[in-house]
């Protein structure tokens, strides 16, 4: 037994964490898209 490395057929991914990870990335993207550059101008 023992823990398996990530790229291993026996690795047990916790599917219950997918919504949490997805919401984290959405929130990060929302913050990045609404951030104003230091100069006050957008590209």
pLDDT tens column, 13-41:
899 999 999 999 999 999 999 987 777 56
Q: Is the separation of the CB atoms in 16 and 23 below 8 Å?
A: no
**Residue 14, both tokens:** 């916790």
Rounded to two decimals, the pTM is 0.57
**pLDDT, position 16:** 97
Q: Is the separation of the CB atoms in 4 and 10 below 8 Å?
A: yes
Q: Which residue has the higher pLDDT, 21 or 6?
A: 21
Report the 3 state secondary structure along the chain: CCCCCCCCCCCCCCHHHHHHHHHHHHHHHHHHHHCCCCCCCCC
pLDDT band at 10 (very low <50, low <70, confident <90, very high): confident
> Among positive and negative, which fits the CA dihedral 3, 9, 12, 18?
positive
**pLDDT, position 2:** 64
The average pLDDT across 3-21 equals 88
């Amino acid at each position: 037994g023992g823990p398996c490395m990530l790229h291993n057929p026996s690795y047990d991914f916790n599917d219950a964490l997918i919504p949490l990870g997805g919401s984290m990335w959405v929130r990060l993207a929302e913050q990045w898209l609404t951030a104003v550059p230091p100069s006050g101008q957008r590209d």
